Structure 1
Amino acid sequence: MTYLRSWPNGASAAVPVLLCLPQAGAGSFQFQDWQVRLGSSATVCAVQLPGREDRWGEPAPSSIAEVVGAVVAELADAGLLDRPLVVFGDSLGGLIAYELARAVGPSALVVCVCRAPVHWARQGGLRDDDVERLASASVDGSTLPPELVTELRDIAAEVLRRDAALSTTFRDAPGAQPLRCPVYAWGAVADETVTPAQLDDWRDVTTGPLHRHDFIGGHRVSREDPVALLGRLSQVLADIAEEEPS
């Protein structure tokens, strides 16, 4: 099964493509609503990793490099690399988004609640306590019966463990050419996982400008307050569209 998911909206081929990569443990379906909210201002595509949602029964990829190679090939086959491209990654998705950006040279890279690559290289991937905390957060506030909440938490933890293993395959490339595009590094003031200093270090991955912003909320801000996040993304997309030659 393919990696890319999209939701036709009749947008012009001239508008930017927004390629989205979700947080660890999550899938692509959340981004269907983003296409509805953004309307014809962008073509939203999302990366669906194996082992979740409609790819539940598939084995996990062996490495981030494998994911990047497959996604780049699908983008090329779909003709999406000929259009303005904004790559958005949420948490672990931000690390994969960075690797994709190195491969395709997008118009902009946007990362949310994701520490800069140097910290992944130094500290390794997602830790066991990250998995436990994120699995518990996935069912916080649920009104389902306790036995169902436990089952859902166990499922979330299983997917998160697969993504934790994937995150350990990141290999920084010392001396690699930096990106040339603007990088938007967004955090959340109540995030206990990623610090402002770790976000500030995204400045080192590009010769373009770094734009920092912190939202009100925690590590799951993209789901807690999608309106605020999409407001920022809309401005990025508008800026990219304006810069493209007519």
Structure 2
Amino acid sequence: MLENKEGTPREWAVSTEEVFISSDGLLRFPRPPKNEEAYLVCFPPAGAEAFMYDGWVRLLPESINLCAVQLPEQEHDVSAVISQVSESLLQNIRPGKKLFFMGICLGAIWAYEVARYLRDRAGVQLDHMIVVTFPAPDQRESAVAFMRTEKFIQIMTSYFPPDSLEYQYVLSRVPAMMHTADLADQSLPPLDTPLACPLTAFASLHDQVVDPKLLQTWQPYTSGPFHVHMCDGDHFYGDHHLEEFLQSVVGYLQGA
């Protein structure tokens, strides 16, 4: 849980009546805070934008408030990205709530590094961490390399007609995706002290990008309970079966 020792008020920049964005632009809350018991902080895959999570709130219980991270796309230093996102969370998440992290694809790396920053710099411990279809940081090299290939771009665009807005949008995000891959290629601190929270890894049986067996590489990254949840789908299982996916996620977060 986060503890706000200073008790300072939170400041919000409101983009619509329903969506709240932190003043630094790094955090997006698709529904206003109420009496939630926990926050689910979502780290999107490479090149994706925080609004991709807006539709999730209709499938999440009101006890969980969703916070989507927007990585600073103009930043070229991986340590600066981690510290900026971490400090924004410390300033903008209300204290006394459970804190869950979810990282999808390359977002799993940022979720872990921010979790470690919060633990080491602010004494904040996660209540649960979920990683989706991406190997542990020390095994990331091959997956990041594949993201740079034409085949990966073809996989990403294959779900949409070439003349569709969705197809063009995916192509428009390729530079941002490559920038995130550049960040992930930078040196990261080696594993020292594992996280202490439960860690659940979602793997896909028919993943075209990551060998599902590599999700097991996350086990040393926590001293808490570890579980691999196997999905009968491809790398984008969560997108194509969102309701089923989130039902499983919520089950783990609520201790089912």
TM-score normalised according to structure 2 size: 0.80
Segments of 5+ residues of structure 1 without an aligned counterpart are 52-58, 241-246
2:113 to 90, 96, 99: 99
**Contact in 2 for aligned 1:131/1:160 (Cα 8 Å):** no
Aligned-residue RMSD, C-alpha: 2.4
Q: Give the percent of matched residue pairs that are identical in Structure 1 and Structure 2.
A: 25
Amino acid at match of 1:134: F
1:200 paired residue number: 216
1:48 to 63, 70, 89: 70
2:175 to 155, 158, 163: 158
CA distance in 1, matches of 2:103, 2:188: 18
TM-score normalised according to structure 1 size: 0.83
Q: Does 1:65 align with 2:87?
A: no
CA distance in 2, matches of 1:232, 1:149: 27
2:131 to 102, 111, 116: 111
Change (3 A) 1:34 1:91: same
**Contact in 2 for aligned 1:9/1:39 (Cα 8 Å):** no
2:57 paired residue number: 35
Amino acid at match of 1:157: V
Q: CA deviation at 1:125?
A: 6.4
More helix by share: 1
**Contact in 2 for aligned 1:115/1:199 (Cα 8 Å):** yes
CA distance in 1, matches of 2:142, 2:98: 32
Segments of 5+ residues of structure 2 without an aligned counterpart are 1-23, 119-124
**Contact in 2 for aligned 1:18/1:45 (Cα 8 Å):** yes
Runs in 1 of length 4+ with deviation above 3 angstroms? Answer: 79-82, 128-131, 148-154
Q: How many pairs does the alignment contain?
A: 227
Change (3 A) 1:214 1:170: farther
Change (3 A) 1:187 1:91: same
2:20 paired residue number: none
Amino acid at match of 1:26: A
**Contact in 2 for aligned 1:5/1:47 (Cα 8 Å):** yes
